[in-house]
């Protein structure tokens, strides 16, 4: 329904991508908060919010597994697009300028900028580590002790990295880049937005 | 036990042989541990298996099952050769100085007097040399060639360390190490004790074996001493009580059963009242008429009068050479000579030897009554083929068995009052903790109601043998359910005129004015009340005798033969360990095993014996006056001491269809059966906790044999004897060492009992393997040391 | 401050009678199960959620001959308890004033971290209740002045209960006795790596505790230490630092506006 908005739009994420992303997001958030409730006794109140410790113990691994599965879908969809090219490396080298909104010397980005691509790979690696270590922690009695010993360290380590990265992602997508959230909710952006944030991609889709 | 559990903590050396107290008497074993910690006592363990007792011992010697007499004989030899005996004790308190008649001897496995055609001995050549007054001649110097001491030395001269090692299968060094420890107690200030159990009694030469232990302890001066003695660890809570009460082929108080040729009470008393053999022998059994008449008064009450020999004719009498012990009556049963059986708290199918014979014997009965807490293998013997499947192929199927079976549910120990007599001879009173479940009844109610019904049937219908039952006194407030207080008071006995409870057996009379159900329990329930219920923890001697805890038979004596703890003048061998002290007019401390006011020199220390002293030499037993090593009925080797007379010539042999013996060529391995700490007999397999601790039957196989046979841990193996077979997983272990005997390797296999075809957990009945071979004196079956073969199942 | 309580296991007095096992089962109202044969007298191969006290049997060949070692195995009640460190659920594992480490069933969430955190591999997860169980040193009995059930049942005084200080003294004295008897390696096992254990052992072969099934040098696993130590701080820094940085960035730099309609 475009209603009365007759300004031009460009489709940024199709429905399947959006669904997958939000599946990932919901599972991630659930896993993150349920996981955080067990991270420190000071966060244990979150467990109460989520139905109590036993519920958290039972469902956190399921939420985690669902997160991994949903991320798998996104991975299939996006992995090729997430390969870093030479421009991306150049972009990363001047990432601090990007952060200060300086445009000079920051190479134009494709559909995903280098930061997003790094996030993708960080989350993919993190999820893999979380999944493997999580399965070990899910069934402690069935696992050899050495694996469990590794898992108790790997799991929170990966979670820290993953959570750190997600804080940046959420901040960027909601507050730093107006319009980015809409791209993931409604699926479209304005051409000006595309040109400004993803110049290379804009030219591709605009055929210029 | 001559001494008691608490007294074990007084020992300097503890020999555990033919027993495994850490596993089977763990609570009593605390006193072994106390001796070790408090006195640095040394624990010597001699056993075919490296048991849990061996695990905490200071010296372990492996041995071949059934060679205990060789080992003990070796110790006797070692002590005599190395002059380690306690000389004054031996001269004062044993029959070492006694002279034996001319003509006694031993050669090639037989003592003199052997009669091949009778299969027994004419014991006349074994007797002492008497003087004109009927007393034994003695040589106080012990040097006379016919003195017991010299005969003993001569007899055991063959038991050299090399000979012992060759028979027993241990190394000579192992034997000598143990011998040095044990013989170290032959000093006045050191004592050693012996703890044994069924590992000594379940042999075809068991009584002689225990005699050998007694000889050893006498030479070392360890009898009558705190921390000494020969101590039988009894295997059931009240088996001592049932023995005391004559449940086994005896009358109460170890009075003998009348024989058919003892036509009158006078005949009986004459045959069973010994005559003193030395001037200073108190010869306490000379009181037999008082014990017997008082017992008859307890049995027949008003119906026992001097005119009718106090009802003596009511007692059953057995034929002169007839034996109605367990082995014999089951043999008769297997030949169809018995009509019925009341199996009261006994599970013969499980615990009798040669299960197939037990099953077949019961199947010949018209009726069988089992009184039990659980459905036992005996109650359900007719299901054996169905439940035990392949183990009992030779046995009839349920449809072919005509025996009418009754299972009467009985109260268990916690559901009834009464006493338990423990191994220490302590009669400890207990009260019911809870009522019996369902229809279960107490033993006394079951017995009484049977008796009363039988009486009324006899009264109504008459019949053969009615008199003994009709004349029996049943004088209780509620004859159908006597209180055990009443029964206990009756066992203690009372003066019939004053109705005063007896204080001691010395008050018994032979004129019928006293009654007493068991003379050795006189004093257990006096006018002061139930002595068995006492729980005083005072220990005036400091030796752990606790005279006010319960009551110990006889006469609350805690250490038997305690007079022997002191020398001729009454001076204790070891002042720190004196159970008795003589103050010039009387003895104090433990109840003296002596006349309380008799001077030390006046009497022999062994008041029960006609000799007045202990017997190194005893002509009382069937096989001979000295214990001799005989091989078990099934043995991998011929007796290295005398090949021609390899096994006990007196051990009874049965010739029924099930009584097969195997030979080493078919059954090359020695097997032993035993209990595990986790279970109690065939009982705890019905109980959740016991079943959890040891769920599975198994067979213990030495590592080396397993390797030879290609058996790995947990493989299912079949153990076969000439009687039957069992199957189970192999527990492959280092703890049963292969032995070298007569130049060859002998393997031993361990088979725990405890399983059967009913209960929470099931497994084969191990007695499927064991032979119907028994000790001729006690009738105990030979469960230690029979032959089997082993194969992968 | 309450006295720290302890249990002393003098393995030289243990006869493997399993009275402690039954007492433990009975007092704690455990379900009874049936064992599986595994070539040993040992009741079961290892501790279980419904079996907290297990005598381990080990047949060992020593130069002087065969040795059969028996030692009771259960929670060691460490001063520095790995299970407690690893437990994410507040109140599920508590260290009582008297030193007892107690598992509180209703607070346990069944995550099993304690199993991994324990250097002695003691806690066991029950598949039925999905909670973790172990010996409580009979904290219920101790609280009312009784000794633990296993101690009460032990016939040989192999087990003693009392203040840790007293028992430590007794244990050292006993070890000295054993050394004097010729067992030169005798000693006391007291888990120094976990700040001492409130279950003390006297061992004849203290230099080889693994012969008894005891870990040679028990320590809280380094991964657990790293996780509960530095990683926690790194993580907290990243979480809170990340959020703080975002706020600062937003306030200082603000959003990156684009001219939408160009």
- Separation between Cα atoms, residue C168 and residue B310, nearest integer Å: 69
- B22 touching C (Cβ < 8 Å): yes
Looking at chain A, which residue has its C-alpha nearest residue C229?
A: A153
Cβ separation A56–C109 shorter than 8 A: yes
Out of 3.30.70.20, 3.90.180.10, 3.50.50.100, 3.40.50.620, the CATH code matching C5-219 is: 3.30.70.20
ipTM reported for the complex surpasses 0.85: yes
Q: Tell me which CATH code domain B1-102+118-235+558-630 carries.
A: 3.40.228.10
Cβ separation C156–B677 shorter than 8 A: no
Q: Is the pLDDT of residue B385 over 70?
A: yes
For the domain made up of B326-466, give the CATH fold: Rossmann fold (3.40.50)
pTM, whole model, 2 decimals?
0.93
Looking at chain B, which residue has its C-alpha nearest residue C177?
A: B37
Q: Are B619 and B127 in contact (CB under 8 A)?
A: yes
| Beta carbons within 8 Å of B741's beta carbon, 6+ residues apart | B64, B166, B167, B168, B169, B636, B637
- Separation between Cα atoms, residue A182 and residue A5, nearest integer Å: 15
Cβ separation C32–B689 shorter than 8 A: yes
CB contact residues (below 8 A), chain C span 206-235, against chain A: 221, 223-224, 226-227, 231-232, 234-235
pLDDT per residue as tens digits for the range B17-58: 999 999 999 999 999 999 998 899 999 999 999 999 999 999
Counting one residue from chain B and one from chain C, the pairs whose CB atoms sit within 8 A come to 101
- C176 touching B (Cβ < 8 Å): no
**Mutate which: C113, C237, C258, C259, vs A, most A CBs within 10 A:** C258
Counting one residue from chain A and one from chain C, the pairs whose CB atoms sit within 8 A come to 137
What is the DSSP annotation of B16-79? EES--HHHHSTTTHHHHHHHHHHH--EEEEEESS--HHHHT-SEEEE--TT-HHHHHHHHHHHH
Looking at chain C, which residue has its C-alpha nearest residue A52?
A: C109
Cβ separation C112–A41 shorter than 8 A: no
Q: Is the pLDDT of residue B391 over 80?
A: no
Looking at chain C, which residue has its C-alpha nearest residue B51?
A: C68
Cβ separation B731–C17 shorter than 8 A: no
What is the DSSP annotation of C196-227? -BSEEEEETTTT-GGGGT--SS----HHHHHH
Cβ separation A176–C256 shorter than 8 A: yes
pLDDT of C1: 53
Cβ separation A179–C221 shorter than 8 A: no
Integer angstrom CA distances of residue C232 from A32, A41, A161, B436, C134? 15, 12, 12, 62, 27
pLDDT of B388: 64
**List of chains touching C (3+ CB pairs within 8 A):** A, B
Cβ separation C34–B692 shorter than 8 A: yes
In angstroms, what separates the C-alpha of A134 from chain C's closest C-alpha? 11
- Separation between Cα atoms, residue C19 and residue C9, nearest integer Å: 14
Q: Tell me which CATH code domain B669-792 carries.
A: 2.40.40.20
In angstroms, what separates the C-alpha of B535 from chain C's closest C-alpha? 20
Q: Which residues of chain C have pLDDT under 70?
A: 1, 258-262
Contacts of B693 in chain C (CB under 8 A): 18, 21-22, 35, 43
In angstroms, what separates the C-alpha of B159 from chain C's closest C-alpha? 26
What is the DSSP annotation of chain C? -PPPEEEEEEGGG-----HHHHHHHHHTTPPP------SSSSSSSS-BTTB--EEEEEEEEETTEEEEEEEEE----BSS-HHHHH--STTTEEE-TTS-EEE-GGG-----HHHHH-TT---EE-TTT--EE---TTHHHHHTTPPPHHHHH-SSS-EEEEEHHHHHHHHHHHHHHHHHTT-TT-EEE--GGGT-BSEEEEETTTT-GGGGT--SS----HHHHHHHTHHHHHHHHHHHHHHHHHHHHHHHT------TT-
pLDDT per residue as tens digits for the range B207-237: 999 999 999 999 999 999 999 999 999 998 8
Contacts of B676 in chain C (CB under 8 A): 41
Out of 1.20.950.20, 3.50.50.100, 1.10.10.10, 1.10.530.10, the CATH code matching A11-206 is: 1.20.950.20
- B295 touching C (Cβ < 8 Å): no
pLDDT per residue as tens digits for the range B463-518: 888 999 999 999 999 999 999 999 999 999 999 999 999 999 999 999 999 999 99
**Mutate which: C10, C14, C52, C155, vs B, most B CBs within 10 A:** C155
Q: Which residues of chain A have pLDDT under 70?
A: 1-3, 208
Contacts of B44 in chain C (CB under 8 A): none
**List of chains touching A (3+ CB pairs within 8 A):** C
**Mutate which: C49, C112, C114, C248, vs A, most A CBs within 10 A:** C112
Cβ separation C260–A56 shorter than 8 A: no
pLDDT per residue as tens digits for the range B151-209: 999 999 999 999 999 999 999 999 999 999 999 999 999 999 999 999 999 999 999 99
Cβ separation A53–C242 shorter than 8 A: no
User: What does the block give as tokens for B352?
Assistant: 């009798």
Contacts of C115 in chain A (CB under 8 A): 140-141, 148
Pick the closest to residue C64 from C211, C201, C182, C179 (CA basis): C182
Looking at chain A, which residue has its C-alpha nearest residue C131?
A: A54
pLDDT per residue as tens digits for the range B516-545: 999 999 999 999 999 999 999 999 999 999
The domains of chain A are located at 11-206
The residue to which tokens 């992303």 are assigned: A21
SS3 B243: helix
Cβ separation C260–A193 shorter than 8 A: yes
pLDDT of B213: 98
Q: Is the pLDDT of residue B3 over 50?
A: yes
pLDDT of A95: 85
Q: Is the bond leading into B554 cis (omega within 30 degrees of zero)?
A: yes
Cβ separation C155–B29 shorter than 8 A: yes
User: E strand or H helix at B421, and its extent?
Assistant: strand B418-421
Identity of the residue in A44, A151, A179 whose CB atom sits nearest the CB atom of C258? A179
- C237 touching A (Cβ < 8 Å): no
- Separation between Cα atoms, residue B56 and residue C17, nearest integer Å: 12
β-partners of residue B420 are B428
- C123 touching A (Cβ < 8 Å): no
pLDDT per residue as tens digits for the range B717-747: 999 999 999 999 999 999 999 999 999 999 9
Contacts of C39 in chain B (CB under 8 A): 713-714, 729, 731-732
Identity of the residue in A44, A156, A176 whose CB atom sits nearest the CB atom of C90? A44
- Separation between Cα atoms, residue B227 and residue B11, nearest integer Å: 4
The answer to whether the Cα torsion of C217, C222, C228, C233 is positive or negative is positive
The domains of chain C are located at 5-219, 223-252
Identity of the residue in A8, A157, A176 whose CB atom sits nearest the CB atom of C255? A176
Backbone angles phi, psi at A101, to 5 degrees: 65, 20
Chains B and C touch (3+ CB pairs under 8 A): yes
DSSP B553: T
Neighbours of B3 (CB within 10 A): 34
- Separation between Cα atoms, residue B1 and residue B235, nearest integer Å: 12
Identity of the residue in C111, C226, C257 whose CB atom sits nearest the CB atom of A38? C111
CB contact residues (below 8 A), chain B span 701-740, against chain C: 713-714, 729, 731-735, 737
Give the residue, B258 or A96, on which the prediction is more confident: B258
- Separation between Cα atoms, residue B679 and residue B700, nearest integer Å: 17
pLDDT of C259: 63
Identity of the residue in C17, C40, C68 whose CB atom sits nearest the CB atom of B677? C17
Identity of the residue in C88, C223, C250 whose CB atom sits nearest the CB atom of A175? C250
Contacts of A177 in chain C (CB under 8 A): 255-256, 258
Cβ separation C18–B50 shorter than 8 A: no
């Amino acid at each position: 329904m475009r209603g009365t908005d007759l300004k031009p739009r460009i489709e940024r994420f199709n429905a399947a991508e959006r669904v997958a992303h939000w599946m990932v997001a919901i599972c991630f958030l659930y896993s993150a908060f349920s996981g955080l409730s067990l991270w420190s006794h000071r966060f244990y109140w979150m467990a109460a919010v989520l139905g109590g410790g036993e519920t958290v113990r039972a469902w956190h691994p399921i939420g985690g597994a669902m997160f991994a599965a949903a991320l798998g879908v996104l991975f299939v969809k996006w992995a090729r697009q997430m390969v870093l090219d030479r421009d991306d490396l150049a972009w990363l080298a001047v990432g601090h300028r990007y952060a200060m909104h300086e445009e000079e010397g920051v190479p134009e980005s494709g559909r995903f900028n280098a930061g997003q691509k790094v996030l993708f790979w960080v989350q993919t690696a993190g999820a893999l580590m979380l999944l493997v270590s999580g399965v070990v922690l899910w069934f402690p009695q069935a696992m050899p002790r050495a694996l469990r010993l590794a898992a108790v360290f790997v799991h929170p380590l990966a979670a820290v990295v993953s959570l750190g990265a997600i804080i940046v992602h959420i901040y960027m997508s909601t507050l730093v880049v107006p319009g980015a959230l809409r791209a993931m909710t409604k699926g479209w952006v304005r051409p000006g937005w595309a040109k400004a944030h993803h110049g290379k991609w804009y030219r591709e889709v605009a055929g210029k | 036990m001559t001494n008691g559990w608490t007294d074990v903590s007084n020992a300097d050396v503890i020999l555990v042989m033919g027993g495994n107290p850490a596993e089977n008497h763990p609570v009593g074993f605390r006193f072994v541990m106390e001796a070790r910690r408090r006195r640095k006592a040394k624990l010597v363990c001699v056993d075919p298996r490296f048991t849990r007792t061996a695990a905490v011992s200071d010296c372990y010697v492996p041995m071949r099952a059934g060679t205990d007499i060789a080992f003990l004989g070796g110790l006797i030899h070692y002590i005599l050769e190395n002059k380690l005996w306690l000389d004054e004790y031996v001269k004062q308190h044993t029959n070492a100085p006694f002279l034996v008649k001319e003509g006694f001897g031993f050669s090639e496995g037989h003592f003199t007097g052997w009669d091949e055609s009778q299969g027994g001995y004419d014991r006349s050549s074994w007797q002492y040399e008497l003087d004109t007054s009927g007393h034994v001649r003695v040589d106080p110097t012990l040097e006379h060639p016919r003195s017991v001491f010299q005969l003993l030395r001569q007899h055991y001269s063959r038991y050299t360390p090399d000979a012992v090692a060759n028979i027993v299968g241990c190394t000579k060094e192992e034997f000598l190490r143990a011998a040095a420890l044990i013989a170290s107690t032959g000093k006045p200030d050191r004592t050693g004790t012996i703890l044994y159990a069924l590992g000594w009694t379940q042999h075809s030469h068991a009584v002689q074996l225990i005699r050998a232990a007694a000889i050893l302890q006498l030479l070392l001066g360890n009898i009558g001493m705190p921390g000494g003695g020969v101590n039988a660890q009894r295997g059931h809570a009240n088996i001592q009580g049932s023995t005391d009460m004559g449940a086994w082929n005896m009358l109460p108080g170890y009075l003998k059963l009348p024989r058919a040729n003892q036509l009158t009470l006078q005949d009986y008393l004459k045959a069973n009242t010994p005559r003193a053999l030395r001037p200073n022998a108190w010869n306490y059994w000379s009181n037999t008429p008082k014990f017997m008449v008082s017992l008859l008064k307890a049995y027949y009450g008003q119906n026992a009068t001097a005119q009718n020999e106090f009802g003596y004719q009511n007692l059953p009498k057995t034929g002169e050479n007839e034996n109605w012990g367990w082995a014999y009556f089951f043999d008769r049963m297997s030949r169809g000579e018995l009509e019925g059986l009341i199996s009261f708290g006994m599970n013969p199918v499980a615990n009798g030897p040669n299960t197939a014979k037990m099953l077949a014997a019961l199947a010949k009965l018209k009726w069988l009554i089992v009184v039990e807490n659980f459905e036992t293998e005996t109650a359900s013997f007719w299901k054996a083929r169905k439940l035990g499947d392949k183990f009992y192929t030779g046995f009839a199927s349920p449809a072919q068995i005509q025996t009418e079976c009754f299972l009467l549910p009985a109260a268990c120990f916690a559901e009834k009052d009464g006493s338990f007599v423990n191994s220490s001879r302590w009669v400890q009173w207990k009260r019911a903790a809870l009522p019996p479940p369902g229809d279960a009844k107490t033993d006394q109610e079951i017995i009484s109601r049977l008796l009363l019904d039988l009486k009324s049937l006899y009264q109504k219908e008459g019949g053969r043998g009615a008199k003994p039952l009709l004349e029996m006194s049943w004088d209780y407030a509620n004859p159908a359910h006597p209180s055990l207080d009443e029964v206990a008071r009756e066992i203690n006995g009372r003066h019939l005129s004053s109705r005063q409870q007896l204080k001691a057996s010395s008050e018994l009379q032979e004129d019928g004015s006293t009654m007493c159900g068991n003379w050795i329990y006189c004093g257990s329930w006096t006018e002061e009340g139930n002595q068995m219920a006492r729980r005083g923890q005072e220990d005036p001697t400091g030796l752990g005798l606790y005279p006010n805890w319960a009551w110990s038979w006889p006469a609350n004596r805690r250490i038997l033969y305690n007079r022997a703890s002191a020398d001729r003048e009454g001076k204790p061998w070891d002042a720190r360990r004196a159970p008795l002290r003589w103050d010039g007019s009387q003895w104090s401390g433990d109840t003296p095993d002596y006349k309380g006011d008799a001077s030390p020199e006046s009497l022999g220390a062994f008041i029960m014996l006609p000799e007045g002293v202990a017997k190194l030499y005893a002509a009382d037993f069937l096989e001979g006056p000295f214990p001799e090593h005989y091989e078990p009925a099934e043995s991998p080797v011929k007796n290295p001491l005398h090949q021609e007379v390899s096994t006990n010539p007196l051990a009874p042999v049965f010739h029924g269809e099930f009584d097969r013996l195997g030979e080493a060529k078919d059954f090359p391995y020695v097997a032993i059966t035993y209990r595990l700490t986790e279970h109690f007999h065939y009982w705890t397999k019905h109980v959740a906790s016991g079943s959890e601790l040891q769920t599975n039957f198994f067979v213990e196989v030495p590592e080396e044999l397993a390797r030879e046979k290609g058996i790995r841990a947990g493989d299912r193996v079949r153990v076969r004897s000439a009687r039957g077979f069992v199957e189970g997983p192999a527990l492959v272990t280092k703890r049963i060492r292969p032995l070298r005997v007569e130049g060859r390797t002998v393997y031993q296999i361990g088979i725990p009992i405890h399983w059967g075809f009913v209960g929470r957990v099931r497994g084969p009945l191990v007695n499927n393997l064991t032979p119907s071979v028994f000790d001729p004196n006690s009738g105990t079956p030979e469960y230690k040391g029979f032959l089997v073969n082993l194969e992968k199942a | 401050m309450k006295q720290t309580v302890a249990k002393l296991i003098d393995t030289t007095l243990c006869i493997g009678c399993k009275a402690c096992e039954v007492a433990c089962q009975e007092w704690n109202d455990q379900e009874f199960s049936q064992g599986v044969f595994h070539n040993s007298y040992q009741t079961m191969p290892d501790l279980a959620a419904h079996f907290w006290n297990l005598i381990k049997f080990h047949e060992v060949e020593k130069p002087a001959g065969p040795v059969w070692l028996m030692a009771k195995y259960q929670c060691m009640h460490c001063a520095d308890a790995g299970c407690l460190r690893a437990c994410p659920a507040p109140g599920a594992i508590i260290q009582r004033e008297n030193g007892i480490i107690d598992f509180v069933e209703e607070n346990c969430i069944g995550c099993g971290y304690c199993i991994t955190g324990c250097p002695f591999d003691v806690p066991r997860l029950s598949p039925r209740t999905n909670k973790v169980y172990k010996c409580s040193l009979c904290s219920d009995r101790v609280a009312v002045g009784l000794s633990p059930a296993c101690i009460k049942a032990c016939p040989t005084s192999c087990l003693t209960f009392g203040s840790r200080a007293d028992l430590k003294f007794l244990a050292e004295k006993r070890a000295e006795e054993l050394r004097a008897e010729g067992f030169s390696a005798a000693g006391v096992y007291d888990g120094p790596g976990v700040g001492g254990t409130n279950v003390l052992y006297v061992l004849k072969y203290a230099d080889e505790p693994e012969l008894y099934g005891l870990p040679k040098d028990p320590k809280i696993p380094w991964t657990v230490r790293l996780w509960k130590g530095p990683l926690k701080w790194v993580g907290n820094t990243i979480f809170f630092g990340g959020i703080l940085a975002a706020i600062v960035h937003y306030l200082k730099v603000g959003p990156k506006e684009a001219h939408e309609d160009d």
